[in-house]
């Protein structure tokens, strides 16, 4: 049987584990954002660059395996969408770090409520993906619902923060922080889309 498995049967890749590893990198990056905010330590955002590089390496590895393998636990299109959306989350967090650096922000404290919601979304997505191997559909449904509900909450917080910005007189401050809020919304949007893909994958394993 070992000979047949090794040389005759199509190779199988554990894409559940591969996707979960990617999701953990994404959650870690969002957690670093939140920690930098709570600790009021902008310089600690530098760790995001290293984590983003590791996530990109894993993304490329996952994509290479997807192109090379015949048997997958879900259709290849769903796995492809999840790989790319997780990568987009990583990129968006990296872009937030870049803008914070270029704009020379000295504090992230005003983003604390938004980052707290963002971390809850990233954590829920990670938990949902971890439930895929055992087909724990109730857990997946709970995770995706949390992501969608918190996305609405985040958009509400961003709208209120933008309104407060516009009421100020410093145009430079308004433009700078409006861009930061847009980037936070972009991170949330990609978590939202990844949660939709997770829901699609769950439906297909029923």
> Phi and psi dihedrals of 32, rounded to 5?
-65, -40
Quote the CA–CA distance of 196 and 60 in Å, as a whole number.
Answer: 22
Q: What was the pLDDT predicted at 5?
A: 41
pLDDT value of residue 8: 39
Phi, psi of 167 (to 5 degrees): -75, -10
Give the pLDDT confidence score for residue 70 in this predicted structure: 64
Of 110, 99, 100, 85, nearest in space to 26 by CA = 85
Judged by DSSP in three states, 12 sits in strand
Q: Are 177 and 108 in contact (CB under 8 A)?
A: no
Which two three-digit tokens encode residue 141?
């449904």
First to last CA, the chain: 30
Q: What is the pLDDT of residue 11?
A: 57
**Residues of the chain scoring pLDDT < 70:** 1-12, 70, 206
Q: Which residue has the tokens 């259709």?
A: 75
CATH number assigned to the domain covering 14-204:
1.20.58.220
Q: Which residue has the tokens 């969002």?
A: 30
pLDDT at 206: 62
The tokens describing 9, both together, are: 């049967």
Residue 106 phi/psi, 5-degree rounding, is: -105, -10
Torsion angle defined by CA atoms of residues 16, 17, 21 and 27, in that order, rounded to the nearest 10 degrees: 50
Distance CA 118, CA 27 (A): 9
Residue whose C-alpha is closest to residue 177's, from 163, 191, 162:
162
Instruction: Provide the pLDDT for residue 106.
Output: 76
**Helix (H), strand (E) counts: the chain:** 7, 0
Q: Which helix (H) or strand (E) holds 18?
A: helix 15-38
- pLDDT tens for 132-186 read 999 899 999 999 999 999 999 999 999 999 998 888 877 877 888 889 999 999 9
182: nearest Cα among 58, 96, 118, 74: 96
Predicted pLDDT at 172? 79
> What is the model's pLDDT at position 88?
97
Residues 28, 20, 204, 152, Cα dihedral to 10° = -10
């Amino acid at each position: 049987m070992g000979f047949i498995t090794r040389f005759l049967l199509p190779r199988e890749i554990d894409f559940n584990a591969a996707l979960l590893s990617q999701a953990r990198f994404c959650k870690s990056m969002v957690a670093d954002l939140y920690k930098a905010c709570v600790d009021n330590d902008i310089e600690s955002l530098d760790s995001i660059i290293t984590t983003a590089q590791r996530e990109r390496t894993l993304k490329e590895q996952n994509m290479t395996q997807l192109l090379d393998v015949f048997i997958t636990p879900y259709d290849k299109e769903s796995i492809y969408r999840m790989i790319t959306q997780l990568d987009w989350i990583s990129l968006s967090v990296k872009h937030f770090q870049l803008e914070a650096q270029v704009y020379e922000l000295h504090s992230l404290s005003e983003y604390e409520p938004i980052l707290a919601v963002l971390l809850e979304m990233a954590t829920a997505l990670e938990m949902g993906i971890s439930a895929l191997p055992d087909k724990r559909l109730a857990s997946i449904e709970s995770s995706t619902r949390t992501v969608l509900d918190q996305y609405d909450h985040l958009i509400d917080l961003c709208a209120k923060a933008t309104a407060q910005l516009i009421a100020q007189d410093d145009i430079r401050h308004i433009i700078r922080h409006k861009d930061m809020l847009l980037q936070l919304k972009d991170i949330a949007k990609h978590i939202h889309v990844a949660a939709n893909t997770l829901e699609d994958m769950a439906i297909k394993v029923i």
